[in-house]
Each structure stands twice: as C-alpha cells, then as structure tokens.
Amino acid sequence: MERDALEKALLAAHDADDTNGLVDLYTLAADQAEQTQDIDAACFYLTHAFVFALESGNSSAQVLNKRLADRGRAKLLDF
C-alpha cells in the first residue's frame, strides 16, 4: 500500500475506533519500514500495533510482542 493511502487508512481507522483495523494497518506500516531498514520506525509502528492488539484482544498480540522483544524494544511476555 502506498504511504499516502496507508496514512489515510490509519486516520480513518482511528476515526472509526477500528482497533482491529489499526492493528493490521500499523503492522503493515511496520513491515514496510522494516523493508527499508528503518528499524526505529518499524518498532514505533509495532508498538502501536501491539497496544491496539492488547486493547482489542487481537490474537496477534503475542506475535507483535515477540517482534518487539527480538528488537530489544519490549520484554517477552507470556500469553
């Protein structure tokens, strides 16, 4: 997804309080940042995805936590 389209989708998901959509979109943003080796940006987006996953009970919380822990940005939690 193009950056502008992704930013618009993120804003729309925030406006709609679509937490599961936010998890998916922030994860996508993190994936794209990782592809360009922008690890700080990737971890920023992963953190947002993780928080929204925890908030909504999204099953991807464990995977997101592991990705952050692998980068030294979070403690690995037991789910």
* Rounded Cα gap, residues 48 and 54, in angstroms: 10
pLDDT of residue 49: 98
**pLDDT digit string (tens) for 30-52?**
999 999 999 999 999 999 999 99
**pLDDT digit string (tens) for 58-69?**
999 999 999 999
Every domain of the chain and the residues it spans: 3-58
